[in-house]
Structure 1
């Protein structure tokens, strides 16, 4: 595990150093109409990813940026570690030191060959739209935990993240940021497109949607449901351990070790309704209108409980 974390930290640290030498307009590139960070993604990586072979027992987490993927990724990693320790003897246990950087679309072109050599179960995170994932993910019916978060808190968190991380463009004002966010001129594209496109798969038997907010409301129940979805049994002691290790406070305290310089940027507040500190009345109305037009009538839209979390 230490080796895999070092890979994670090294990649991010190199990306930050590289970004500091680049102009703002160089920080993002477009691939199939969507923007991505130049320092951690590339067209060559996306093309190589098409040949990636997903497995039925892969543990995949899909979420738009700043929806809680690092948090839930910690939960999934702990669950898989517990499961593997139970199901495999010491001689055939998973070699944690060989686990790859978790985000599917981030890395180098040889990454997928290395991933193909890994023993199961692999924990894979992604911010991609379903149509931009390798076709094998759906063909092989890999199980996907779909994580969504209310758009106002996503925008607020993304704004602070953008101004803290040099690898993506920063903004002089919140007004400038929210203008770009509303039209989808963001790394990994439009929030509304993400939710709308994933909603087309919400009834697939291999997909389980969960919201950031419901996990915040009852993390123990959320972890239980996630474990059941992936067929992982937990004792009460194991459930408590996973819940404690993935608490915001615990992850924030360990962030320097687990995420390097990125840690203090990733784990800022970890709460709900921080949007009230930034949105003005016009921006509230604009977001309310966009939600109504693009998401409100969908199953994922209903699951977000917009009236509860996004109304003043």
Structure 2
């Protein structure tokens, strides 16, 4: 597992290095009307994405950026290892839309169980995920905290282009002009499928409030049967602080930013009342 962590951290550091010297305008490209970061995505990779052959026992994790999916990946890795004594292999970026076009051929060689993470909308996922009935866990987070966390990521990582102000970022976020596009479009597409078979919704705030209960719920959804003692041990190892303490080892230089605060309600430190009302209006529309 040490080699897996090292490889993943190296991939993260390579992505950061690609950001050096780029402006906000240069860091994004558009594919099917949605902006994506050139540092980890490409047109060629999106065109090859349908070549991903999903398996029935794949674990698919979906979230908009900065909603806690990297934390959830760590939890799920521990859960899988505890339940079946097999650790998912993660030698490259786990997000299916990130990386080079040949990654889908390499993934064929990875033994089950595999974790397939993504920030994509429902309609953008490879059809094999639905055809082969892989289970999909969708993670949501309060859009206000999501926006603040996204802003801090841009402005706290030295090599990532910064926004001139919170107000500038807020406007771009609200209009879907940030990486992976609109939070609200993402939420709309997935909300339409919350009753689908093999799909489960989990809320980041619920993970924070009762990690043990959330892990039990996730285990039941994926058909794992850990004991109560095992679930509690996973929860003890997977507190946000515990994961944050190991973030540089597991995620490279970006780790301390990916696991920055994890605070519920941090949006209150940046939002004006007008911005609060504007986002509430957008959330109701979604």
Contact 1:61 1:144 in 2 (8 A): yes
Spell out the pairing of 1:81-230 with structure 2 (5 A cutoff).
Answer: 81-85=81-85, 94=86, 99-165=91-157, 168-230=160-222
Q: After superposition, what is the alpha-carbon deviation per residue over 1:65-94, rounded to whole angstroms, capped at 9, x for unaligned?
A: 011001111111111122331xxxxxxxx5
Displacement after TM superposition at 1:241 (Å): 2.0
Aligned mate of 2:259, from 267, 291, 294: 267
Q: After superposition, what is the alpha-carbon deviation per residue over 1:101-129, rounded to whole angstroms, capped at 9, x for unaligned?
A: 31111111111111111111101111011
Displacement after TM superposition at 1:166 (Å): 5.5
2:35 alignment counterpart: 35
Matched, 1:232 2:224: yes
Q: After superposition, what is the alpha-carbon deviation per residue over 1:228-277, rounded to whole angstroms, capped at 9, x for unaligned?
A: 00000111231122112211111111111011101111111111000100
Spell out the pairing of 1:276-287 with structure 2 (5 A cutoff).
Answer: 276-287=268-279
Contact 2:63 2:118 in 1 (8 A): yes
Partner secondary structure for residue 210 of structure 1: strand
TM-score, normalization by structure 2:
0.96
Q: Tell me, which stretches of 5 or more residues in structure 1 are unaligned? A: 86-93, 295-312
TM-score, normalization by structure 1:
0.88
Counterparts in 2 of 1:205 and 1:97: CA distance versus 1, 3 Å: closer
Counterparts in 2 of 1:166 and 1:203: CA distance versus 1, 3 Å: farther
Q: Distance in 1 between matches of 2:239 and 2:206?
A: 14
CA RMSD between the two structures: 1.5
1:71 alignment counterpart: 71
Q: Tell me, which stretches of 5 or more residues in structure 2 are unaligned? A: none
Displacement after TM superposition at 1:224 (Å): 0.1
